[in-house]
Chains A and B, each alone.
Chain A
Amino acid sequence: SSELTQDPAVSVALGQTVRITCQGDSLRSYYVSWYQQRPGQAPVLVLHGYNKRPSGIPDRFSGSTSGNTGSLTITGAQAEDEADYYCHSRDSSGNRVFGGGTKLTVL
């Protein structure tokens, strides 16, 4: 089991806002990064640091961290945002770890 906990599945209506969360005590001390994985494709970094988007990632993706919870927010979800989303950080021992993933469905 992962030390980063994510909801297995979340849904959002097209054009609405959705927040995907990642919980873990280590997030009080370490950065969280977020990855999007579409079916059959490799993961893609969408957010890192305190809310930094790599080049090419739409600005509808934003992030935040509060206490032990990191959040990825999609404002105005699009059909192409339907994917699995994984958070990543360190565990309590400092080892790298991924959350279990959240399957986002855009209705």
Chain B
Amino acid sequence: QVQLQESGPGLVKPSETLSLTCTVSGDSISRDYYYWGWIRQSPGKGLEWMGTVYKSGSPNYSPSLKSRVTISVDTSKNHFSLNLTSVIAADTAVYYCARFCSTNTCYEAFDIWGQGTMVTVSS
């Protein structure tokens, strides 16, 4: 079955760049009509969409994060990545990667999620 797995440092210093990778297994990241996204959840808070990217590399970002976030896809490695620059304590969160389907049977939904990875911003 399709699985997504986040990986990356669990601790990042303030002002540095947070970098995470999501490895996809059981599916091709180059599949038509499927996008790949990042969602985060601060402790005790709700879900926040950060951005989504297609196989062609055309990303869409949350307006509130657009100046600091980059999401890229590597079809050769079947993974996609998140970079968040100039992090602050408020960026401490569980970061989830997820598959977003936009087919005529899926109707725009995040249908597969990774287990999430906790990232703490602290010196």
Q: Do A and B interact? A: yes
- Interface residue SS majority, chain B: strand
A86-B47 contact in complex given A42-B96, A42-B113, C-beta closer than 8 Å: yes
Please name all residues of chain A whose beta carbon is closer than 8 Å to the beta carbon of B105 when the two chains form the complex. 49, 52
B113–A43 contact, CB under 8 A? yes
In A1-33, the 8 Å CB interface with B consists of 2, 30-31, 33
- Decide yes or no whether A100 CB sits under 8 A from chain B: yes
Partner of A33, one of B46, B96, B107, B116: B107
In B31-50, the 8 Å CB interface with A consists of 37, 39, 46-49
A48–B109 contact, CB under 8 A? yes
Please name all residues of chain B whose beta carbon is closer than 8 Å to the beta carbon of A99 when the two chains form the complex. 46
Q: Residue of B at shortest CB range from A89?
A: B108
**Size bracket, chain A contacts:** 20 to 34
Q: How far is the CA of A35 from the CA of B116 in the complex (A)?
A: 15
Please name all residues of chain B whose beta carbon is closer than 8 Å to the beta carbon of A44 when the two chains form the complex. 113
In B93-112, the 8 Å CB interface with A consists of 96, 105-111
- Decide yes or no whether B114 CB sits under 8 A from chain A: yes
In B15-65, the 8 Å CB interface with A consists of 37, 39, 46-49, 52, 60, 62-63
Please name all residues of chain B whose beta carbon is closer than 8 Å to the beta carbon of A35 when the two chains form the complex. 47, 110
Chain B residues proximal to chain A, CB less than 8 Å: 37, 39, 46-49, 52, 60, 62-63, 96, 105-111, 113-116
- 25 A-B pairs, CB-CB below 8 angstroms? A2-B46, A31-B108, A31-B109, A33-B110, A35-B47, A35-B110, A42-B113, A42-B115, A43-B96, A45-B111, A48-B107, A49-B105, A88-B47, A88-B49, A88-B109, A88-B110, A89-B108, A93-B63, A95-B63, A96-B49, A96-B60, A98-B46, A98-B47, A98-B48, A101-B47
Chain A residues proximal to chain B, CB less than 8 Å: 2, 30-31, 33, 35, 37, 42-45, 48-50, 52, 54, 84, 86, 88-89, 93, 95-101
